[in-house]
Structure 1
């Protein structure tokens, strides 16, 4: 899951907090219209989105009334059931997007955006992911690359490990992990999976990385399409490989109680303390904005760096899990159409990219727009991924994704329950619940 994924329900109203009636956008005092927008972003991510929005507001005289919720799916469902959907929203993922589209809640966007530009600038895969039953209902405004291993170069060097040439295989990485443990006397990994109602999603990202690199892209795509048995030997192996890290008190800081109770937004903090209490953190590229929120003086490359998740089976080298943030329209209006068209443009997406913490899926946002060498490196990884595999968890429907989150929390707490957890997930898949 990416930063747009879920968590405890909290709402922050920015600008003017208005309840928008079902009839459409309300008028502002300046004569423009207000659009009601819901998305998951808070903190620095929210600031970047609002910076992205401002040129459109200045040009049109319209205003975006933004509401943030880490459990955006629950908020959207409640608003829709109450007959008061937002004008537009950042969608939880392609799986939930498809559910809303099949319910007839999303507006088709082909006539709102420039499809010729979309197809040439985004490429077929990103357009396809926003399409349900032949209709474009979601557009990606930013992307992230998953499965990155972050570290503090100075602290790593003090253990005698050299990541200037990153480990190419999981076995090589685990050799380095054991060296870090022996030389520092500390646990190498810092992991935190708490995120309110969506607690567990950071741990599911580990399983996706292992499954892709152990079972391969074909099975991974079958899983994303909800056609792969959850209790298959390959799936069980991926969970157990993650378990060999998270359930090993010599490898993971604080043990399972810390992992389960610590927010993903602060799980990395011990890595930057002096002296460090852990040395490695697994997360997607968006996490750098959280690093610099908690530690404003940190500088990319000098104070934090990363390498991609290493290979496990060499025949699947180059495969990479990616994710992205979708936008959809729930109320059709000229203002909403103009806004969503603006969001697809390179001029709009450059704004967030230049502020950091985002990769643009629009190929016309060139590397010189990225603020530092590290963000350029992440963007290159996304472009070079072969094949790029979209987050399989975000492709599931809401019930199955939620059960995945809950199941991995249960597994961290009690690994002996793995068979029961996987059988339950498989039962949900086959029942279509």
Structure 2
């Protein structure tokens, strides 16, 4: 790993921790809507970064799954930090991160920092002995700004390795308000009402659903979100927890019921795949493209997480609002006003304890960074120091409030918590078999037999 010459402000791990604990690192800006750092411009903003230290020619490599426009916004989110500290944060995104992070670790060439999209993958890489325990400053920020559950997702065998970064609320159903108003459709308040609405839409000139399970090397994961949402809503958080930890078998009758309930919607040729093709096209359609026919009125609904807001356009030209171009509602439960949701997030783990790496890792765990990134649009964070007003749309603001609401029953994406061989292996591939014709019981039996 690279080591740079420090030119001011000692920044050892203990020193950063002390600053974080006294509120110098990680406090939310007085005006979160201001420029990153909480001030009106870069020059004044550097005062907010003084405690991180300054470095001459320092470079920190960050590796993750974030690509394209989202990667551009990620780079923008730490630009002022770079200017003020002298650290060049070099981000590399890869659609093959899940496989390549292991290749790089085994080859002795890990990045300084990795943004893990799955707690299960983080745990498996921690098992190689290459990931370092989080510095005290990062632990302090995590304890201040995240719930115990979120901290636990970055903890392996009692040791805290990785603070959360961004987050998402899953289970949103996206739609076009103008199309719905024209047809007189109303947002359902229960799963039964959603079924009734789907049947009603099918009688019109609009196909009820557009769906895509495609995602490059990670093809299949969008299907797992459907199953997880239905397991949680039909059977509750206790069964959900038992399922993802294998206290009940993967092919338990309750899981069969949830999967069949999903199949009634997206395996029905009369209900999919609006603007794209027949049921079989779901397997190959990229999830990022799958929802776009909603805006053309070719399909009525698309099931995808809060982060999908960033996929409607590259230039934020699509208005996400209740009376805008697109809007969304949370997939309902068996009863009205159910508060259970699934979600996901990323976690930043370190392979180096160089002072400049600690500085970047600490900044990424702070409320300042969360407000900086969220204010750029398209994403949210579960960081309690985040001002919901910084979210780029009313929908994302509501998603932040959902994450911060103590009454919300939140469960992390199940496949991300399962052993990698299942969660990002047989579960993904099994859903491709399922959507192209294989029976529910057969698919679940195969996944169950693959559990380590």
TM-score, normalised with respect to structure 1: 0.88
Structure 1, residues 308-351: CA drift from partner, whole Å, max 9, x if none?
A: 1111267x931111211111101221111111100111111111
Identify the match of residue 143 of structure 1 among 154, 160, 167: 167
Matched, 1:129 2:153: yes
SS in 2 for 1:250: coil
**What is the root-mean-square deviation of aligned Cα atoms in Å?**
1.9
Give the 5 Å matches for 1:16-415: 23-25=1-3, 31-115=56-140, 117-162=141-186, 166-182=187-203, 184-253=204-273, 254-273=277-296, 276-293=297-314, 296-301=316-321, 302-312=324-334, 317-384=338-405, 386-401=408-423, 402-415=425-438
Unaligned runs of at least 5 residues, structure 1: 1-22
Tell me how far 1:120 sits from its aligned partner. Answer: 2.6
Tell me how far 1:70 sits from its aligned partner. Answer: 1.5
SS in 2 for 1:252: coil
SS in 1 for 2:287: coil
Q: Distance in 1 between matches of 2:450 and 2:335?
A: 30
- Say whether the 8 Å CA contact 1:105–1:330 is kept in structure 2: yes
Q: Distance in 1 between matches of 2:213 and 2:3?
A: 38
Q: Distance in 1 between matches of 2:258 and 2:176?
A: 27
Q: Distance in 2 between matches of 1:397 and 1:33?
A: 36
Tell me how far 1:381 sits from its aligned partner. Answer: 2.3
Q: Distance in 1 between matches of 2:443 and 2:395?
A: 38
| Cα distance, 1:226–1:50 mapped onto 2, change above 3 Å | farther
- Say whether the 8 Å CA contact 2:210–2:301 is kept in structure 1: yes
- Say whether the 8 Å CA contact 2:382–2:400 is kept in structure 1: no
Moved beyond 4 Å, runs of 4+: none
Tell me how far 1:296 sits from its aligned partner. Answer: 4.7
| Cα distance, 1:31–1:213 mapped onto 2, change above 3 Å | same
Structure 1, residues 15-65: CA drift from partner, whole Å, max 9, x if none?
A: xxxxxxxx43578xx932111111111122101211122122112111122
- Say whether the 8 Å CA contact 2:280–2:435 is kept in structure 1: no
- Say whether the 8 Å CA contact 1:110–1:135 is kept in structure 2: no
SS in 2 for 1:113: helix
SS in 2 for 1:95: helix
SS in 2 for 1:242: helix
Tell me how far 1:214 sits from its aligned partner. Answer: 1.2
SS in 2 for 1:363: coil
- Say whether the 8 Å CA contact 1:189–1:280 is kept in structure 2: yes
SS in 1 for 2:328: strand
SS in 2 for 1:140: strand
Unaligned runs of at least 5 residues, structure 2: 6-54
- Say whether the 8 Å CA contact 1:170–1:311 is kept in structure 2: yes
SS in 2 for 1:279: strand
Match of 1:6 in 2: none
- Say whether the 8 Å CA contact 2:174–2:328 is kept in structure 1: yes
| Cα distance, 1:296–1:142 mapped onto 2, change above 3 Å | closer
Structure 1, residues 237-264: CA drift from partner, whole Å, max 9, x if none?
A: 1111111111111111122222112101
Q: Distance in 1 between matches of 2:130 and 2:215?
A: 27
Residues paired across the two proteins, number: 397
SS in 1 for 2:164: strand
- Say whether the 8 Å CA contact 2:138–2:163 is kept in structure 1: no
Match of 1:8 in 2: none
Tell me how far 1:90 sits from its aligned partner. Answer: 0.8
